[in-house]
Amino acid sequence: MTPLPRLVPVSDAWMDELFARPPARDVYRSKSTTILPLKTEWNDSIQYCEGEHEHHAGLLLEYLWRLGVVKRYKFQPIDLRDIGGPEAYPDILVESVNKQRYLIGVKAHRFLTPEVRASFDEQQRVAASSGMKFLCWTNRDVLKPVLGGNALSLDRG
C-alpha cells in the first residue's frame, strides 16, 4: 500500500484521504478469527470486523452515527508508521461530529496481556502526539454482553 500523502496528520484533508482509502490491513490475511460484515449507513458500504467484540463496537458506532454523535468510523484504518509510530494497526478510527478523533483498540478482557497493554500504551502515545485520543474497549467495560444483545436488537429493528 502506498503511504498516505504528506498532509498534516489529522487535518481535515488527511482524514478525508484516510477514510477514502481501503483498510490498512486486510483482515482476511492477518489472523484466524471470525470475520463479520457490518453494513454502515454513513457511507453506504460494508466494513469487516474481526470478531464479535469489534462487530458490537461497530453496531454501537452505527447507532451513535444515527443519533448524530459520530460523523464516521473505519475499521483497520491506519498503520501507525504513517504517523510516526511503530507498525501497529488500531482496530477502529472514529471521528465525532465535533471533530474529535479517536483510535480504538477492541479486545476481549481475557486477552489483555502485558504485551497487548504495552502495544495499547504505544498506540495511545502515538495518538496523543497526533492530536487524537486512544480508547481501549473490552467486554468488561464499553462492550459488556448486554450491549451486544441490545446493539443486535437495534440493528434488527
Domains within the chain, CATH numbers bracketed: 12-156 (3.40.1350.10)
Please give the pLDDT value at position 148: 64
DSSP codes, the chain: -PPPPS--TTSHHHHHHHHHSPPSS-HHHH-SS-EEEEEETTTTEEEEEEHHHHHHHHHHHHHHHHTTSEEEEEES---GGGGTS-S---SEEEEETT--EEEEEEE-GGG--HHHHHHHHHHHHHHHHTT-EEEEEETTTTT-HHHHHHHHHHHH-
**What pTM does this model have?**
0.87
* pLDDT tens digits along 87-98: 999 999 999 999
What is the sign, positive or negative, of the torsion defined by CA atoms of 54, 55, 57, 58?
positive
pLDDT confidence band for 10 (50 / 70 / 90): confident
Rounded to whole angstroms, the Cα distance separating 104 from 31 reads 19
Please give the pLDDT value at position 38: 92
Cell digits of residue 136: 481501549
* pLDDT tens digits along 42-78: 899 999 999 889 999 999 999 999 999 999 999 999 9
* pLDDT tens digits along 122-144: 999 999 998 999 999 998 888 87
- Please state, rounded to an integer, the average pLDDT across all residues of the chain: 87
Given a cut of 60, whether residue 9 has pLDDT beyond it is yes
Please give the pLDDT value at position 101: 95
